[in-house]
Amino acid sequence: MKLYKIAAVATLALVLTGCASNQSDSKNYKDESKAALNSKPTHKHAKAKTSTNTSSTSSEASSSSSSSSSSAETKSNNSFASLSSQLASKLPNTLIPQASGMNASQPVNIKYSGNSQNSKITYSLGQKNLPLNSASASNNAYAVLTKKTYASASAAKQAVDFQPASSVKGLPKVSLGHSITGHTQSGAGQEYISWNEGRWSISVHGSKVNNTNPKSTAVSAVNMFEQYSLPAPESVGTVKLLAGDTTNLSQEVKFQKGNQVYTLKANTASAAIAMAASMK
């Protein structure tokens, strides 16, 4: 009987020990689960912070892009093409040069005065593109375009001072290339080469006194006329070039359109011809 009691007590002790162990394991599991649950907000916060940083970076990039775009737009609005477009709206029914006659990378600034009947447009070089009629634009023009309205088409035609081919007939001839023949005349140290192309009369003035030979300028002009087509005047047009001068707006293209006359003066023959050829 004693043995049975001892065995029973031992068995009971083992059962109680097992229960205590199970309760401890259960408690540890619950504590671990609770700790795991409590750790989740930390990861969530980190994710949110990363998202915020990404959003901030994206916002800064967008702002930088917007600033660059705005700067490019401002530059574009002051480009030669944009200024020419603005001129066309300010001076309706006026022929405007679409080419500056300068290197494409060279900033050109423009001022104008007058209206669609009578106007003056001044082109100057600058360090940067400026708005139309900017007070900061240089007054040292490399080209000036004027438009003048006359009482009649015949009065406008007379103002062009066109020289017909018959006026130089019989004068000494000089070959200028591209099957163009010029006629020379000289006196008092001055020398001229003249010729006609279509409705245009062209003359180049040189000076023996100043050692300026008109032939080289005339040949260059003929070559340019092969590259550029001058506007077709309704009646007449003239080109007057001065050899050796590149500073005094002494290169001139003038033509009639109805009762109006356009006169483009530039420092160089190349600028005058390129600008006049682009007028529309």
DSSP structure string for 199-220? TEEEEEEEETTTTB-HHHHHHH
Q: Left (φ > 0), alpha (ψ -120 to 50) or beta: where does 189 sit? A: left
DSSP assignment, residue 86? H
Q: How far apart are CA 48 and CA 227, in angstroms?
A: 66
The whole-number average pLDDT for the span 111-132 is 97
Whether pLDDT at 135 is above 90: yes
Whether pLDDT at 18 is above 60: no
Cβ distance 141 to 124 under 8 Å? yes
pLDDT in tens, 35-93: 333 333 333 333 333 444 444 444 444 444 444 444 444 456 899 999 999 999 999 99
User: What pLDDT shows up at residue 77?
Assistant: 83
More confident residue, 27 or 172: 172
The whole-number average pLDDT for the span 195-224 is 96
- Cα-atom radius of gyration of the chain, to the nearest Å? 43
- What average pLDDT does the chain have? 82
Confidence band, pLDDT 50/70/90 cuts, at residue 261: very high
The whole-number average pLDDT for the span 215-240 is 95
What residues does each domain of the chain span? 1-77, 93-277
Cβ distance 124 to 138 under 8 Å? yes
pTM of the model: 0.74
φ, ψ of residue 257 to 5 degrees: the values are -140, 100
More confident residue, 80 or 18: 80
Q: How far apart are CA 204 and CA 194, in angstroms?
A: 6
Q: How far apart are CA 93 and CA 280, in angstroms?
A: 9
Q: How far apart are CA 131 and CA 53, in angstroms?
A: 40
Strands 190-197 and 141-149: unpaired
